[in-house]
Chain A
Amino acid sequence: MKKYLFPHRFKKIGWVLLIISIAAAIANLPFDWEPSFLNSNPINIWGQDYSFMGTGKNYFDELYSIGIIIGSILIAFSKEKYEDEYIQKIRLEALVWAVYFNYIIVILLIIFTYGIDFPIFLMYNVTTLLLVFLMRFNWSLFKIRKVESNEE
């Protein structure tokens, strides 16, 4: 598994990226703030007509969405300081757990949300898998480090 992981130093970069992106999302979603220099005409790759958007599209939400995803991937899949076989087992268990958790959420969304709500919730769900993995993995690491400190 080691060869699929980023070097340990990428973890810090990931945290910086994630925090900035979440701050941007908070500024954008409830407060509707967006920097005007990111206004542009939409990239028209599916041949759709975007002219109803008037002045063009603001690319702020695209940027921070990608930032949140890349940031959490870097945090989740950078090596720990001592990345050994035991840590890798814990990593794998946390990943399996997060996948189960994520799809339970998706199933609940399928059952309980209708119409336009469903894709909106699914959009937020993009981050669930990685965030749940991060919480579970770090919780497991915290537990083994706590046990370890009272042994010799």
Chain B
Amino acid sequence: MKNNIRVERAIKRITQQQLAEMVGVSRQTINAIEAGKYIPSTVLSLKIASIFEKEFSEVFQLEESDWKKGK
């Protein structure tokens, strides 16, 4: 799953740390999500989209590889 959290953060002018505090996770978690190393839970994804005042699909998009079975 792709995301453009980094871009949205830049638009809103908030740091990883600030976003982390707003959604109640550690800064490492936001960093790992931005780097594509961690796929956030549904609740966390929706919280992040809601901070940016965007629809879920504007922040997170499926990739081709997400459709492969037993990934």
Q: Which residues of A contact B (CB under 8 A)?
A: 82, 84-87, 89, 144-145, 147-148, 151-152
Q: Say yes or no: A89 contacts B38, CB within 8 Å.
A: yes
Answer whether A86 and B26 are a contact pair too, CB < 8 Å, given A147-B31, A148-B31, A151-B31.
yes
CA distance A148 to B28 in the complex (A): 6
> Which of B15, B28, B40 is in CB contact (< 8 Å) with A145?
B28
Is the C-beta of B1 less than 8 angstroms from some C-beta in chain A? no
**CB nearest neighbor in A for B9:** A152
Which residues from B are CB-within-8-Å of A144? 28, 31-32
Q: Which of B15, B16, B24, B25 contacts A86 (CB 8 A)?
A: B25
B40 proximity list for chain A (CB < 8 A)? 85
Q: List 12 A-B contacts (CB under 8 A).
A: A82-B25, A84-B29, A85-B29, A85-B44, A86-B32, A87-B26, A89-B38, A144-B28, A147-B35, A148-B28, A151-B16, A151-B34
Contacts of A84 in B (CB 8 A): 24-26, 29
Q: How far is the CB of A1 from chain B (nearest CB, A)?
A: 12
With CB as the reference atom, state the residue of chain A lying closest to B23: A84
Chain A residue with the shortest CB-CB distance to B40: A85
Q: A84-B26, A85-B41 are in contact. List 7 more A-B contacts (CB 8 A).
A: A82-B25, A84-B25, A84-B29, A86-B32, A144-B31, A144-B32, A151-B16
Contacts of B16 in A (CB 8 A): 148, 151-152
Chain B residues within an 8 Å CB radius of A89: 38
Kindly list chain B residues whose C-beta atoms are within 8 Å of the C-beta of A145: 28
Contacts of A151 in B (CB 8 A): 16, 31, 34
Instruction: Bits for B18-55, please: 1 = Cβ < 8 Å to A, else 0.
Output: 00000011111101111100101100100000000000
Instruction: Give CA–CA (A84, B38) in the complex, Å.
Output: 12
Contact in complex: A148, B27 (CB < 8 Å):
yes
Nearest-neighbour CB distance to chain B for A70, whole angstroms, equals 27
User: Using Cβ atoms and an 8 Å threshold, which residues of chain A touch B25?
Assistant: 82, 84-86
